[in-house]
Structure formats: C-alpha cells, structure tokens
Amino acid sequence: MQNIFEKKLLMLKPESLLISQNHARKSFDQAWLKSLAESIAVNGILEPLAVKKTENGKFEILAGVRRFKAAQMANLRRIPCVVHTLDGQNAEIFSLTENIQRHNLELFEEVNAIDRIIKKYDISQTQAAIKLGIEPQVLTNKLKLLNLSPDIRQKITDANLTEHHARALLKLSIPERESTINYIIENALSLSESEQYISGILNPKPIAKMEVTEKPLRKQSIGDIRLFYNSLSKLVITLKNSGINANTRKSETAKYIEYKIRIKKDIPQEIECQQLKIC
C-alpha cells in the first residue's frame, strides 16, 4: 500500500466533494444527521474528512460522508479535509477500514463492502483481512452471513439485531430461519433468549414416554365362545340374505374349536354391496 501519510489539510468547498459510488454506507439516519448538523453549526467539524483527489479535479470522500452531509445541512461554506494520495484499491480499503474502526457501518453494509472488495480486486479472504486489520477468522465469520437471504438480512437490519443474532440463525435450516427471525422480532427476544430459543429448535427435548400398564388378559369363558359363534352365524345369515352363497362349518378337537366360513367365488354382478353389521 502506498504511504497513506502522504497527505495535507485543505479547506474545501462542499461542491468540490464527491461521495463515491463504492462507499460502504448506504443508509443514513436523518434524525441523527440533523442532530450532528446542529452541533456542526455551533462547533464546526472537529475532525476533518478524509478525501483523495480525482482526475477531474474534484475530491472523493474516503471517510466522513455523514459529517459531509451534516455540514451541507448546516450550510458550511468550507469543510476541513485531509487529502490522501491513494490509488483505487488502497483508497477503498482505507475508506472501509476507517468506517470499520469507527463502527460507522451497519452489519450488512460492512459485510457487503468486504465481499465487494474481495471480488473486485480478486484477493483472498486472508489478504483482505490483513489489509483491513481484521482477524482472518472474524472476516470469514462475517462473510458467512451472506448465506442468509436478503429478506432475513433486511429484517435483522430493521430490528437492529446484532451480528451474534445473525450467526445464531445460520445454525438453522433455511426453512426454519424465516419463522425464527419473525418469532425473535415479534417477541423482542434478547440475544441470550434468542440463542436459547434456537438451541431448543436444534435440540428438542424428547417427549416423555407414558408408562402403559398392561391389563391382564381375561380368561375366556364358554359364554364368550358362544357369543363369538353366534356373531359368525349372524354374519353368514346376512351374507345369504344379500344373495351371497355362504355357509359355515364347526368342528371340535380335544384342544380347539374350529369354524370355517365358505363363500362361493362367482357372486352375481347384480348384487349390490350392503353394509354388514355384526350385533
């Protein structure tokens, strides 16, 4: 990287400053900007903007876009700026590093900016981590958040949830994430409550088994056997009344009583099916 200390302080007109299309910050809290503008109107800009000179003579803002917007709202005629001599890649990395260190970016603004730099300049995650001053594993974990759907990312942003909320959601399957983020937001769960809720989804408690006490089998009596035989006899009578040729045969041995019901296969087609009921 070129020496970022090759810089000088200038008081520049607001119209000579440009916001880069590649700037990481995409959203601005208007109420916060208004409050900052009121402070700037009284105290001025306490920390200069970081800029670089472009080919057309304008100055591109590397860090301090919110201060610039607030200065415009306060109608400042001149804005203090530190001009850095940086090329395209180093300028973007410098800008993103400044915003990361100041915690100026929303979660997915930061993640998207890191991902864009890696793809745009074809550098590895490790190289990006070194340039941005981030631990490689921290950067890798941030990029994993892009596996969340755009809709879920937006809900996380709108609800001001943390990176830890987002990382916890990654543990779930894709179908489970949508219902879970909705539940977390609707019930205003804290981080610990959210993690506990997600843990419950991943490790559901087994349903307690109910002890079933088997009732001892009742000894069959002669009366039971006769009742069963009478039911079979009624069934055969019902079949015969329906036009079905059926008969039964009973035989006994020393240990068993055997009942056989025989139904002729060639049942006439015109016989309608009737519901058979054993009383």
Task: Determine, yes or no, domain membership for 278.
Answer: no
Residues 178 and 244 in one domain: no
Number of domains in the chain: 3
Residues 162 and 95 in one domain: no
Q: Rounded distance, CA 126 to CA 134, Å?
A: 9
Residues 237 and 152 in one domain: no
Q: Per-residue pLDDT for 92 more than 80? A: yes
Task: Determine, yes or no, domain membership for 125.
Answer: no
pLDDT digits (tens, 9 = 90+) for 140-167: 999 999 999 999 999 999 999 999 999 9
Task: Determine, yes or no, domain membership for 164.
Answer: yes
Residues 58 and 12 in one domain: yes
Q: 20 is in which domain, residue-wise?
A: 1-106
Task: Determine, yes or no, domain membership for 133.
Answer: no
Task: Determine, yes or no, domain membership for 136.
Answer: no
What is the reported pLDDT for 210?
A: 59
Residues 89 and 44 in one domain: yes
Residues 17 and 86 in one domain: yes
What is the reported pLDDT for 69?
A: 94
What is the reported pLDDT for 215?
A: 58
Residue 66 sits in a domain of what CATH number?
3.90.1530.30
Q: Rounded distance, CA 90 to CA 262, Å?
A: 95
Query: For the whole prediction, is pTM greater than 0.95?
Result: no
Task: Determine, yes or no, domain membership for 24.
Answer: yes
Q: What would the mean pLDDT of 67-93 be, rounded to a whole number?
A: 91
Residues 95 and 183 in one domain: no
Task: Determine, yes or no, domain membership for 113.
Answer: no
Residues 236 and 196 in one domain: no
What is the reported pLDDT for 251?
A: 75
